[in-house]
Structure 1
């Protein structure tokens, strides 16, 4: 186990945590941004499996949210407003008339306080941030903690915790773009995704939930038995076309299995599994990723990464029957997502 800390040219702290197997996770105190995850392929070669900038300073803007902690509310809030206890709150609009990923001053844009830790078989960092009442338009003084733990089983465990002194909206996630081919050798079109989900949430032309849930049966959204991401990219199904030929949708998990998602890249042999106590996930296939950005290994292009944003559903702020994102003053927000990496047998 090893922890390395470097100071970047612009004054941030860059943490590199490594387990006894050689797996390494690198992250910044700015935005809690994961800049790199090194895991082996079937030949034992360690390569990066997330998208990250070549120049650390480029994360200061980061409109694609590479690797960042997202909050207070991950996803889109319709018309940048919501009502709690008969009081309407107006948020900052940063995607048309809507509010996306916590707004321009969201968790991805703050310096988090960091404490490192190490045990016999884990190593990690604990990040904390206090968000004052009214920041971004959200009610309540919120104290948030995000802990990244790397184990010797090649698991990256992300624990989220928060308390508030006033009922508020909260659902945090991590916005890493995964590419299991290694060092961005290929796009993610041939990645095979298996997901324990019978339903997904319909979107309108502005990618806002309509309030309708759609059965995945006989659609390109049926990942229950595994399918390539390219199936949705090349599909003429209306919901794939709305997402600019791909996926940017919330999938509701079935609550009967610990492992919610399995992702496989046949060329490298890498397999990533996702376990979580969150009720669903937004799978985003980087359909709107800016092209030509200077990433660590190459320039960016569409379909270069896939995000698995485990979270509650912002649609619950405007529609009934969706997983809640409300945190009350007497409650503690506690969520966990585990990304595990292994090689195909």
Structure 2
């Protein structure tokens, strides 16, 4: 690795089958805190976070080599686009015109379709080694790519905004009306991504009072968001993720666990959206976002068929996702927050991941 400064490193992570180089940028904070970002998929490949004893471990699931990301598609740490989450029946109407997308989740379009932003090689547009070291990655999606209208120029900036704080800032512009919804899809295990333990004992606080109920295809049901009160989806007070995950609840059956959008209040500045604490390690993650939704996914489809870092087989709930975003299937729902982007507008999304630890 070449150290550009004490706060930034840059090296070659591997080569794609066509020979293109995939780079990795390392941003260094305090107390051993590090974020390692790949140009392939604009991926958060590793996140080193100290525990209550000051020992750093990588707290996100993923792979130690490029082949793991290229040969499989489990969305470990990647940037999702053009549209995060699902679009029902792979179609929507935009300004009176029907748009048909490529289906890749049964009849539905998931995470941008078969070749979403997570399958693209982004380029490094900017590096900064000042008090807040950062890397900006950019990608241009041509008009019609994935059947989405408009040429979309997107970027994501990973920036250390504190000694143990990582901020992700997204922007996108288009040359014709389109839809856009970008997010990061990291799987977190605050005891360590290769610890071999489930994250079901992690304690989650999620202030949302409403969530979107789904059908067995994970598409939101018609009607208004449902209240979390009196359901297994009430995390307004701290609760272990596994405390109610095996209840006989139709929504838990439909999602095979938690895989639901929690409805937040979108704001001009990031607001508190979630807190995740690991009792074993003492690590705490606080998530702040300006997005109107947070998809909480309890790693239900991890099945032991994928070997991750250190050769560990990832099994159900070995990591959990907290994905800030616009609501799923919003292009088909006039009563949902809009995902429409016009040529005279700019899509923006900012999320902050703050880490600390508590003493045992």
Fold shared by both chains (TM-score > 0.5): yes
1:66, 1:175 within 8 Å by CA — same for their partners in 2?
yes
Deviation at 1:255, TM superposition (A): 5.8
Q: Distance in 1 between matches of 2:106 and 2:49?
A: 38
Deviation at 1:222, TM superposition (A): 0.5
Deviation at 1:316, TM superposition (A): 2.0
Q: How does 1:150-161 map to 2 (within 5 A)?
A: 150-161=160-171
1:121, 1:152 within 8 Å by CA — same for their partners in 2?
no
What residue number does 1:2 align with?
Answer: 7
What residue number does 1:284 align with?
Answer: 297
Q: Distance in 1 between matches of 2:172 and 2:126?
A: 19
> Can you list the C-alpha shifts for 1:162-193, whole angstroms capped at 9, x where unaligned?
11111111000000000101243221100111
Q: Distance in 1 between matches of 2:110 and 2:193?
A: 29
Q: Distance in 2 between matches of 1:316 and 1:183?
A: 32
> Can you list the C-alpha shifts for 1:225-244, whole angstroms capped at 9, x where unaligned?
11111034212111011111
1:150, 1:156 within 8 Å by CA — same for their partners in 2?
yes
What residue number does 1:222 align with?
Answer: 234
Q: In the alignment, which of 157, 169, 180 is matched to residue 147 of structure 1?
A: 157
* More divergent stretch after superposition (170-179 vs 150-159): 150-159
Q: In the alignment, which of 237, 241, 245 is matched to residue 249 of structure 2?
A: 237
> Can you list the C-alpha shifts for 1:62-100, whole angstroms capped at 9, x where unaligned?
321110000000001000000011100011111111100
Pair 1:272 & 2:277 matched? no
2:219, 2:328 within 8 Å by CA — same for their partners in 1?
no
* More divergent stretch after superposition (180-189 vs 86-95): 180-189
What residue number does 1:262 align with?
Answer: 275
Deviation at 1:122, TM superposition (A): 1.1
Q: In the alignment, which of 276, 289, 300 is matched to residue 314 of structure 2?
A: 300
* More divergent stretch after superposition (64-73 vs 19-28): 19-28
* More divergent stretch after superposition (67-76 vs 312-321): 312-321
Count of residues in Structure 1 that have an aligned counterpart in Structure 2: 344
1:15, 1:27 within 8 Å by CA — same for their partners in 2?
yes
* More divergent stretch after superposition (153-162 vs 16-25): 16-25
Q: Distance in 2 between matches of 1:192 and 1:20?
A: 25
Q: Distance in 1 between matches of 2:108 and 2:71?
A: 19
1:203, 1:242 within 8 Å by CA — same for their partners in 2?
yes
Q: How does 1:96-135 map to 2 (within 5 A)?
A: 96-135=106-145
What residue number does 2:3 align with?
Answer: none
* More divergent stretch after superposition (225-234 vs 214-223): 225-234
Q: Distance in 1 between matches of 2:231 and 2:30?
A: 43
Cα 1:166–1:255, aligned 2, differ >3 Å: closer, same or farther? closer
What residue number does 2:190 align with?
Answer: 180
Deviation at 1:314, TM superposition (A): 3.0
What residue number does 2:97 align with?
Answer: 87
Pair 1:197 & 2:208 matched? yes
Which residues of structure 1 form unaligned runs of 5+? none
What residue number does 2:52 align with?
Answer: 42
> Can you list the C-alpha shifts for 1:100-158, whole angstroms capped at 9, x where unaligned?
00011110011101134334421111011111111101011111010000133311100
Which residues of structure 2 form unaligned runs of 5+? 1-5, 16-20
RMSD over aligned Cα atoms: 1.5
